[in-house]
Structure 1
Amino acid sequence: MTTQQDGRDARVAVLVDCDNVQPAILDHALRFVAQFGRVVVRRGYGNSGALGGSRWQEALVQQAFTPCLQYQYASGKNTADIALALDALELLFDETVDTFCLVTSDSDFAYLCRKLRERGAIMCIVGESKTPQALRNASDHFSEWEPLPDVMQAEITKPANENGLVAKSADSVRPPAKQRPMFVVKAVALLASDTPEGKVTLSALGNYLRRTDPGFTPDAYGYSGLLEMLRTYDLLQLTQEPGSHWTVKLHLDNIQRMPVNPLTGKPNAS
């Protein structure tokens, strides 16, 4: 799935319209674009009303985004959108990146998407359910983010914090208890969705997990390696292919047996 040029990973810019989306969308956006390449630019655009609040400040700092504050020169004028568009064109012309991810549901960006694609860039959009069809169709890849139900969010974040990292006590000497964070299953679902056989290699999965969290390591969850970790998941199936390499895919039967689909948070059909 990873886009490569000249034998190297694609360089990705994630540009967020903070006036239009919620801070909780950032985790989803970064996990989505990690399949396409290495994120080298992270910027969040907004006016003082959005970026001045604690919610966006905390989210941008936690995910290492550069805040791009744009004051409104006149009432009703959104200068942040113009700044985002100009910066995107500059990044393309300077050849800083070759893949863009706009995090917005604002159809005003459809024209920018078309211009960037005409110049050869790969365009990704991450938006909410309100995203108009015109913006969805202006991208090469669209991902819709939906807030998880409170009960599902509590279950997913129970073994780890928002970054997927296990909290460690400074004086703790005991190895961590074995845990199975849900983001691993979601990573397999994302990477395998576009493959003919619905599976992904172990190495591709490991690379993706390290892109989304540079500090990811199986031993933080009580395992000596990724293969040992994946063997404990009831929702995943492992296969040793010819040549001794391993692949993993979703265990669809086990997922369907659950009353609530763990990937969507919606009830399964009985």
Structure 2
Amino acid sequence: MNGWNKVQAEFGLVPHHQPANTVGKNASDIALVIDAMDLMHSGRFDAFVLVSSDSDFTRLASRIREQGLEVFGIGAQKTPDAFRKACKRFIFLENLEGADDNGKPANKAEVVVPANDPKEARDLILKAMDSIDQEDEWYALGPLGQFITAANPDFDARSYGKKKLSDLVADLKIFETKRGPGNQMLVRRID
């Protein structure tokens, strides 16, 4: 816990410690769930952020969403699919800048290798195009991105080695891009 003291002070965090009553039990997880339910029922919040890679929080995320609130998840690539999909949006720790796996500042010179094959992203974009009902062959990138993340809460262009969806689309050779009204990015399939 000593490593957290500086972080607590820097960000004004209030620590809560839940000692285990029995070895091997997850008293901290249960305490977090109780606190989250209390906060949910207070009616003061519109959204929750769950930072965990533990599938035990899947039901909590689902329950909060059943209440009509948004849930954003943050966790490692190893996070089970069920928990990722229970969130409105899920962000992989590996895609966040500023820290390595040990919480130490990342070396800026390090090159991040994309975790996913860009062909997977291509398929998601094509599926979004097929699902959006429109006559025009040019699609606004914003609604495409919204459709993709609604269907795949863990979608993130950084998982494919790109900073933004527009960079990812531009790199996939089966799409053409241009600027439309209001400088919005438009994309169409060219094959």
Under a length normalisation based on structure 1, what TM-score does the superposition of the two structures give?
0.38
Q: Which of 107, 116, 122 is the equivalent residue of 1:151?
A: 107
SS in 2 for 1:152: coil
Aligned to 1:141: 89
Residue pairs, 1:150-229, within 5 angstroms: 150-152=106-108, 195-196=142-143
CA distance in 2, matches of 1:197, 1:133: 22
The answer to which structure has the higher strand fraction is 1
Change in 2 beyond 3 A, CA 1:150/1:134: same
What do the CA deviations read for 1:155-188 (whole angstroms, capped 9, x no partner)?
A: xxxxxxxxxxxxxxxxxxxxxxxxxxxxxxxxxx
Aligned to 1:67: 15
Total equivalences in the alignment: 116
Q: Which of 25, 40, 61 is the equivalent residue of 1:77?
A: 25
What do the CA deviations read for 1:113-146 (whole angstroms, capped 9, x no partner)?
A: 1111111110110001121111101111100011
SS in 2 for 1:69: coil
The answer to which structure has the higher helix fraction is 2
CA deviation after TM superposition for structure 1 residue 96, in Å: 2.0
Aligned to 1:118: 66
SS in 2 for 1:112: helix
Change in 2 beyond 3 A, CA 1:99/1:73: same
Aligned to 2:49: 101
CA deviation after TM superposition for structure 1 residue 250, in Å: 9.4
Change in 2 beyond 3 A, CA 1:72/1:150: same
What do the CA deviations read for 1:78-104 (whole angstroms, capped 9, x no partner)?
A: 211011111111111111212000011
CA distance in 2, matches of 1:197, 1:138: 21
Residue type matched to 1:151 in 2?
A: N
Q: Which of 47, 54, 74 is the equivalent residue of 2:2?
A: 54
Aligned to 2:133: none
CA deviation after TM superposition for structure 1 residue 196, in Å: 4.7
CA distance in 2, matches of 1:96, 1:113: 17
CA deviation after TM superposition for structure 1 residue 60, in Å: 2.5
Under a length normalisation based on structure 2, what TM-score does the superposition of the two structures give?
0.52
Residue type matched to 1:114 in 2?
A: S
SS in 2 for 1:151: coil
What do the CA deviations read for 1:44-85 (whole angstroms, capped 9, x no partner)?
A: xxxxxxxxx221222222222221100111111121101111
Residue type matched to 1:99 in 2?
A: A
Change in 2 beyond 3 A, CA 1:80/1:197: closer
Tell me, which stretches of 5 or more residues in structure 1 are unaligned?
1-52, 155-193, 199-248, 257-270
Change in 2 beyond 3 A, CA 1:119/1:62: same
CA distance in 2, matches of 1:66, 1:113: 23
